[in-house]
């Protein structure tokens, strides 16, 4: 069993919106992501998604609810089928918990669409 040290893991990559796999359990994945500026509006039809911000500031916008602003040490669960747009102000680092195979854009075509990659 290998532990993951978040500081080292976040230091190992720079690309925003390019999630790295930190762990897998019970059909779910724990991913690390860096964020910069606006992501795309999207939803995950079959996947609830948890955001846990560890650095910076991430605003999550919703079509039909008030924005939620997350700073380091704050988490939010976004239920499946709720359209949302993460916006880093101006950058953020976060853990994501979601089912294995969840696409970062929920299938929306975008240059920001990215497969999850292994940590190096």
Q: Applying CB under 8 A, which residues contact a second copy?
A: 1-7, 22-28, 30, 47-50, 52, 54, 62, 65, 68, 70, 73-79, 82, 95, 97-99
Segment holding 6, helix H or strand E: helix 6-11
Of the pair 64, 111, the CB lying nearest a second copy is at 64
Question: Please, what is the Cα angle at 24 between 88 and 104, to 5 degrees?
Answer: 35
Pairwise CA distance, residues 53 & 33, whole Å: 10
Tokens representing residue 23 in the block = 């762990």
CB of 79 to a second copy, least distance (A): 8
Of the pair 41, 110, the CB lying nearest a second copy is at 41
């Amino acid at each position: 069993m290998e532990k993951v040290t978040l500081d080292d893991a976040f230091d190992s990559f720079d690309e925003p919106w390019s999630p790295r796999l930190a762990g897998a359990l019970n059909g779910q994945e724990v991913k690390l992501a860096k964020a910069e500026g606006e992501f795309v509006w999207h939803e995950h039809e079959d996947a609830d998604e948890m955001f846990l911000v560890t650095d910076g500031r991430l605003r999550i916008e919703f079509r039909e609810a008030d924005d939620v602003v997350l700073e380091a040490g704050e988490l939010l669960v976004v239920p499946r089928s709720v359209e949302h747009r993460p916006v880093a102000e101006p950058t953020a680092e976060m853990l994501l918990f979601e089912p294995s195979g969840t696409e970062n854009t929920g299938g929306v075509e975008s240059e920001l669409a990215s497969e999850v990659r292994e940590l190096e």
